[in-house]
Amino acid sequence: MTDLAKLIALLSDARVDFIIAGGVAATAHGSARLTEDLGIIYQRSEKNLHRLVVALAPYDPYLRGVPPGLPFVWDEQTLRRGLNFTLTTTLGALDLLGEIAGGGDYDVLQPGTIVLVLFGYECRCLSLDQLISAKTCCRTTEGY
């Protein structure tokens, strides 16, 4: 199980610029849906990538859903060269999103976010309108 409180505290204490997205954001807005991971949209500046790498390094970030032993280096270069990462850590599942469909990246989304207090920390969170836009932009007629 993902320790949401510890992950949010860790990222906040490290001064990582992030926006809470996905199921945790939906729950913060009152959804009864439970989620098993923390999804964040992270700001991609050099300083923020550094803060993110340093903060998570002690918690063994590794790609989720890939065969064990696949080479993966957790560093700023990896984050710079990639965009979205689904990770496992010793604190649980973490989705790092450089951008989201139907919304954009941190810098585009940040002005429309709301600030909520989660586990004692002020956190930026996607607004309800942003969540709806992100969830509906990619739906097809199949399964909906």
User: Residue 96: pLDDT above 70?
Assistant: yes
Task: Please compute the mean of the pLDDT values over residues 84-105 and round it to a whole number.
Answer: 94
On whether residue 101 sits in a domain, the answer given is: yes
Which pLDDT does position 131 carry in this prediction?
A: 85
Expressed as residue numbers, the domain containing 77 is 4-134
On whether residue 144 sits in a domain, the answer given is: no
Structure tokens at 95: 């989705």
CA distances in angstroms from 112 to 30, 109, 127, 129, 136, listed in the order given: 18, 6, 7, 9, 17
Tally of domains in the chain: 1
On whether residue 140 sits in a domain, the answer given is: no
On whether residue 18 sits in a domain, the answer given is: yes
Which pLDDT does position 25 carry in this prediction?
A: 79
d(CA 102, CA 94): 20
On whether residue 39 sits in a domain, the answer given is: yes
The CATH number that applies at residue 109 is 3.30.460.40
d(CA 38, CA 3): 9
Q: What is the three-class DSSP state of 23?
A: helix
On whether residue 59 sits in a domain, the answer given is: yes
Please give the residue that has the higher pLDDT: either 134 or 77.
77
On whether residue 117 sits in a domain, the answer given is: yes
On whether residue 139 sits in a domain, the answer given is: no
- What is the rounded radius of gyration, in angstroms, for the C-alpha atoms of the chain? 15
User: Residue 143: pLDDT above 50?
Assistant: no
Which pLDDT does position 123 carry in this prediction?
A: 95
Task: Please compute the mean of the pLDDT values over residues 52-60 and round it to a whole number.
Answer: 98
Q: Is residue 13 a contact partner of residue 103, using CB atoms and an 8 Å limit?
A: no
